[in-house]
A and B are shown apart, each in its own frame.
Chain A
């Protein structure tokens, strides 16, 4: 339960945000349950905006319900939802354009690195670019025509915007330590080049559907100029992998991928020493490109495979100064969080007779920094937005006054189904690479779940307002048919 206040001038320039929240933690403290409503939430309460004053108060309360903990996005969806809903409400109260209000309040590209009043330091971003992009994708200018078409079918049509930011790639150990974390949040990777030139890469991140085995292999193969099929990614076994902190908070690529990238750099550096010996050249004259170690300015070269073989059969090898073998480990502790951001635009149709909401269009313009595998990024956004639409329209865990769970099966707990979600329109061409990790990546796993719920709810309120239901300024999620109908007919 959150009460949020947005103070502004009459042109919509933000002056302050203040929130008071009661957070239900359930009966016990699960491992991350204390940080989710606090540091993963309050630190994001400035959003992508240059608001000078922000204060967040959270009281976390024990109840006789199941313990709760982080779920895709964890604290950041709640921050985004509060902010983007109240901004929308303010625009309506003052008769201002929601696109223009966001535009005039965004942190601008010349302000980075930008420190917010809630203590995060955004390294880079371009919030105007993603907003422009989503408006182009969604054909905002053509909305009236689409609304008229919906009206001809007897449906109310609305459009909702959400401009979101998250802090992920969790995170610098020294910082989280100051803030109360009882663990470090680095990650680790070991790159083992086998004698025949293929690789086993042991990573601390865990893949439970994300596709690390594919993407991590792409990165290693690209850096070493070898086929992806020569690289095997090993994860999920403490007896095999270096001590890593696992996968959550959109951290696998930004943190563990960075460790892996650094370990590959060590492999290349050692390879150069071996090549220098074999090619009878100075180490400084060796270059590495497209899988070949070459003496600069000559045609003398050794392939990556030849260097690997030499490391394990070290007959012609500088054993006095260099250990045999070709295996390197790197731990990586990031200097900062990463800050993916984006603009989401949702269009809904509402059936006035039943209150049923159909999401008819969903456009996402995201800035994830550099992209390693576009197909997987799109899949992550689709999944995240699907979960966000589930939160906005369907899902709700509820207890009766005796603490009995009323939504204990799929007959009572409504999961979104294929018919509840539209075909998504996803773009990630606005890229401001992360400035402090070697791959320039920001993370994309939680974005969809963070950015989408307010876009859906804003669109529903917009549809009702345009349809003449001026008294409806908010409906709590899930925006179910009964809630929408009740609000319209109140």
Chain B
């Protein structure tokens, strides 16, 4: 007889009452008084040198409250990798800084290099287009194919990393000679070369963030689509923006799936927090198109 409650019972999911009747509370559903909207200006080329980002015309457009470029974040910390990997020879991995907004170079289609905060989403989109029109990005040859990336030392994603290799890892390096010998002397060896196809996590809810600033207490609040609000708080506060953890509250309300994609901290979250500081809460609800880039 199956149990009807407690451990081992197929208790019905209590959360489904709100999820299935449209009564969940998702970040993009929230509307805070005076809320503004942020739109990113994204690279249309895979690799390019940023020659000019002119925000003057955009800043003067109706409803525009603030514009940001990579230069605004040049002094704050980058988004760190959570795990240090050493190469076989013991050297630490090459770890280029991941900025909130790109400066110097854009490195993939969709790499954000500027952002606009405006009273409405449409105003922000219009101004973002003007920044894109007023910017000059010199397109560089793209590093796409991995074999070519390793072989062609002259074409670098990051100028400081000559062969585009982050690390060359062996596990376990002490096994290597023994394994090589075992394979050499084995009666049969089967070899297979394969490609693991690149996938895009497609949660039902795209990512979104709202940043708020409370002048009376100097507190910040970030409402965001996260699988791990404390980890996001740690990354935003301690690593990227350098504000005390106790002054930043991170809320992950109902979140419509993650599959991994909402573990990580994204530059847009840091930007929402900064935009909030300028009295402009900014949900950057990204479109499905942006999600795949």
List residues of A whose CB falls within 8 A of some B CB.
Answer: 1-10, 15-18, 22, 24-35, 38-39, 42-43, 45, 52-72, 74, 77-78, 81-82, 85-86, 89-90, 93-94, 117-119, 179-183, 204, 206-209, 211, 213-215, 217-219, 221-222, 227-228, 236-239, 241, 243-248, 370-376, 387, 390-391, 395-405, 407-410, 413, 415, 474, 476-478
Contacts and interface: CB of A to CB of B under 8 A. Distances in A.
Contact of B8 (A30, A374, A390, A404): A374
Interface in B1-44: 2, 5-15
Contacts of B82: 31-32, 34-35, 181-183
Q: Determine which residue in A25, A55, A82, A391 has the highest number of CB atoms from chain B within 10 A of its CB, and name it.
A: A55
12 contacts: A5-B189, A30-B264, A43-B171, A54-B175, A62-B157, A63-B149, A64-B144, A206-B255, A399-B46, A402-B45, A474-B194, A477-B195
Nearest to B171: A42
Given A57-B168, A90-B190, A214-B13, A28 B107 contact: yes
A93 B79 CA distance: 48
A61 B200 CA distance: 19
Interface of B: 2, 5-15, 45-47, 79-86, 88, 93, 95-96, 98, 107-111, 142-147, 149-150, 157-158, 161, 164-172, 175-176, 178-180, 182-183, 186-203, 226-231, 233-235, 248-265, 288-289, 292-293
The SS class assigned to the A binding surface is: loop
Contacts of A395: 197, 199-200
A390 to B, nearest CB: 8
Given A62-B158, A71-B259, A94-B188, A246 B231 contact: yes
Contacts of B175: 53-55, 117-118
Contact of B84 (A42, A182, A390, A398): A182
B170 A55 contact: yes
B262 A208 contact: yes
A246 B231 CA distance: 7
Given A64-B144, A119-B172, A213-B14, A208 B257 contact: yes
A399 to B, nearest CB: 6
Contacts, number: 419
A246 B263 contact: yes
A23 B200 CA distance: 16
Contacts of B231: 183, 245-246
A75 B144 CA distance: 21
Contacts of B191: 3-6, 86
Contacts of B93: 34, 60
Contacts of A62: 96, 143, 149, 157-158, 161, 164-166
Q: Determine which residue in A27, A32, A219, A372 has the highest number of CB atoms from chain B within 10 A of its CB, and name it.
A: A27
A70 B292 contact: no
A443 to B, nearest CB: 15
Contacts of A68: 198
A366 B196 CA distance: 24
A80 to B, nearest CB: 11
B200 A397 contact: yes
7 closest A-B pairs by beta carbon, nearest first, are A246-B228, A403-B46, A222-B6, A7-B186, A403-B142, A208-B255, A375-B10
A406 to B, nearest CB: 11
Q: Determine which residue in A57, A236, A245 has the highest number of CB atoms from chain B within 10 A of its CB, and name it.
A: A236
A77 B259 CA distance: 13
Nearest to A65: B108
A66 B109 CA distance: 7
Nearest to B253: A236
A420 to B, nearest CB: 14
Contacts of B233: 238
Contact of B227 (A42, A222, A247): A247
Contact of B187 (A1, A10, A214, A246): A10
Given A34-B166, A71-B259, A248 B83 contact: no
Given A35-B85, A64-B144, A236-B229, A208 B186 contact: no
Given A54-B175, A241-B230, A396-B198, 6 more contacts: A8-B188, A18-B183, A29-B166, A39-B85, A221-B6, A238-B230
A373 B165 contact: no
A409 B289 contact: yes
A212 to B, nearest CB: 8
A239 B179 CA distance: 51
Nearest to A478: B197
Given A67-B108, A238-B229, A53 B190 contact: no
B229 A61 contact: no
B163 to A, nearest CB: 9
Given A65-B46, A86-B190, A375-B10, A415 B202 contact: yes
Contacts of B227: 206, 208, 246-248
B108 to A, nearest CB: 4
Contact of A63 (B13, B164, B229): B164
A421 to B, nearest CB: 15
B258 A208 contact: yes
A8 B186 contact: yes
A3 B192 contact: yes
A31 B79 contact: yes
A475 B86 CA distance: 33
Contacts of B171: 38-39, 42-43, 45, 55-58, 118-119
A35 B83 contact: yes
Contacts of B143: 62-64, 403
Contacts of B188: 7-10, 90, 93-94
Nearest to B46: A403
Nearest to B110: A66
